[in-house]
Amino acid sequence: MKDIAKLAVFGGQPAFAETLHVGSPNIGDRAQLMARIETMLDRRRLTNRGPYVEELEQRLAAFLGVKHCITMCNGTVALEIAIRALGLTGEVIVPSMTFIATPHALQWQEITPVFCDIDPQTMTIDPAQVRRMITPKTSGILGVHLWGRVCNTEALQEIAGEHQLALLFDAAHAFGCSRNGRMVGNFGDAEVFSFHATKFFNTFEGGAVATNNDELAARMRLMQNFGFSGLDNVIYIGTNGKMNEVSAAMGLTGLESLDEFMAVNYQHYLQYERELADIPGIALFRFEPGEQYNYQYIAVEVDANRCGLSRDAFVEILHAENVRARRYFYPGCHRMEPYRSYFPNAGMLLPATERAVERFMLLPTGTAMDSQSISRLCGLIRFIAENGSRIHVNLLHRTQEAQLEAVSIAAKPKKKITRTPRVS
C-alpha cells in the first residue's frame, strides 16, 4: 500500500476479509473433545464434581507443581472465593492496571481496593509503592501478573510477611509461566487462574485457585459447594462455584495440546519481534530471558511523538482494516465506576499506569493466526507508522468535515408538514 487514501478508514477496502481477534479461542483435538463429551453423556454425570473435574484438578496440580488446585466455574468467582477464604477485610492494595474483575471481586464483598501504581518496566504492581500505601486498615495485597510477566513475588512476600498481610495473585494472564524457575501457582497464599475462552488455555468458561496451604484449600472447597461436607451436612457458608463436566472435558483436551499452543504463540511472538523491529514509535513488550512464558499476548506500545499517531488512532485505523486490536487496560480501573466516584484523584498517584493505559494495544495471535496474516498485519502497521503525520492530518480533516456536515444538517430549516383536511 502506497497511498493513505486506500486505508479502509478513508473508504478503501479492508486489508483482511475476515476479522482478526485478540484471544480467538484455541480448540485442541476436536475428535478427542467430542469423545469425552459422548462419554460424559453416556454416564449422565454433568456436574457436581464428576470424574473429569477430578482428573483435571489432579493434572493441573501436577503441571503447576502445587499441592492443591481447585477448579471453579469462572475466574471471577475463583477470585471472590479466594478473597473470602483468606478473610480479607478493610482495604486491599491492588494495581489499577488490570481487568475490572480484579477490583470488583474486592468491592463486591465490601472490601476497598486501594489502587497502586505499576513498575513501568514490568507493568506489574510496584512493591516500593505498595509499602508506602499500607495503613492499619490494610488486610492484604492482590498482585496481578500481566501479559505473562510475573510480579516481583519476592519483594511482595517480604512486605506481606513484615506486616502480616495476606498475599494473593491474579494469575489470569500467567498460566504456564514461571519466575526464577518456579511455576506460577506457587506464590503467595494462593494464585487465581482464568480459563475463559479468550485465554490460550481455556475450559470454555472456568477458572481455578492454586495453593500449597492445606487449610485454605479445604476452606475453598467448602465455599465453592455451598459449605457441604458430605451428604446433607453444611458446616460453612458458601456459594456455587463448581466447574461442570463439559468445561473440564475441554480443559483436559486443551492440556493435551498445551505444548502446541505455547509453541505457536512463541513463534508468533518471534515473528512480531522481527517484523515490528525499527518501526518508528512502535515497541513490542519484552520478556526477561530464562523464564517460561505462554506468549498469549502481543502487547505493543505506541509513541505518538515518534510515529505521529496516538494509540487510539492506531486502534481506529486497524479496526477499519478488520483487525480488532484492543486497548489494555483502558482507561484504567481507577477511571471506571464506582472507583472514579470514590477516588476522583487516584490518577495523581498512578503516573506509570496513566501513561500505560494510553499507549498500549494488543494484537492478534494464537492458533487462529498464521504467519502470512502476521506479515500482512506488520506491513500494515509499518505503513501506518511511517505515514503517521499525514494520516493524522487526514483524520483531522475527516472529523472536521463530519462536524461541519452535522452543523449544516442541524441548521437546515425543518419543512412544515401541512395536513389536508379530511373530507368525509
Do the Cβ atoms of 379 and 2 come closer than 8 Å? no
Look at residue 262 and tell me whether its pLDDT is greater than 80: yes
| Distance of alpha carbon 283 from alpha carbon 298, whole angstroms | 11
Coil vs helix vs strand at 92: strand
**What is the pLDDT averaged over residues 278-302?**
96
pLDDT, mean of residues 102-116: 98
Question: Distances from the Cα of 410 to the Cαs of 42, 238, 250, 371, 398, in angstroms?
Answer: 65, 57, 55, 49, 18
- For the chain, domain boundaries: 4-20+258-404, 30-256
Do 271 and 298 contact (CB within 8 A), yes or no? no
In this prediction, residue 49 carries a pLDDT of 94
As a whole number of angstroms, the distance between CA 225 and CA 194 comes to: 19
Q: Name 233's Cβ contacts closer than 8 Å, sequence gap at least 6.
A: none
Report CA dihedral (202, 204, 206, 211) to the nearest 10 degrees. Answer: -20
84-93, 234-243, 381-390, 392-401: least confident range: 392-401
Question: What DSSP letter does each residue of 145-176 carry, written as one string?
Answer: -BTTBPP-HHHHHHHHHHHT-EEEEE-TT-TT
Q: pLDDT over 90 for what percent of the chain?
A: 92
Q: Which fold has domain 30-256?
A: Aspartate Aminotransferase; domain 2 (3.40.640)
Residue 355 vs residues 248, 300, 304, 358: alpha-carbon distances, Å: 39, 13, 12, 6
Banded pLDDT at 398 (limits 50, 70, 90): confident
Express each pLDDT in 182-210 by its tens digit: 999 999 999 999 999 999 999 999 999 99
* Residue 178, CB-side half-sphere exposure with 13 Å CA sphere: 11
Helix intervals (H) in 257-387: 258-275, 304-307, 311-320, 339-342, 351-357, 371-386
Joined together, the cell numbers standing for residue 19 give 476479522
The confidence score (pLDDT) of residue 424 equals 44
Write down the pTM of the prediction: 0.93
Average the pLDDT over each of 221-235, 249-263, 316-330, 396-410 and give the range with the smallest value.
Answer: 396-410
- Determine the straight-line distance between the first and last CA of the chain, rounded to whole angstroms: 67
AA letter at 56: L
Q: State yes or no: pLDDT of 171 exceeds 80.
A: yes
Instruction: Identify the CA nearest to 246 among candidates 27, 34, 28, 25.
Output: 34
Average pLDDT over the chain reads 95
Q: Which cell numbers in the block locate residue 214? A: 492445606
Q: What is the pLDDT of residues 344-357, one digit of tens each?
A: 999 999 999 999 99
Which cell goes with 380?
A: 500494515
CA distance 361 to 188: 29
CATH, range 4-20+258-404: 3.90.1150.10
Q: Whole-angstrom Cα distance, residue 350 to residue 150?
A: 20
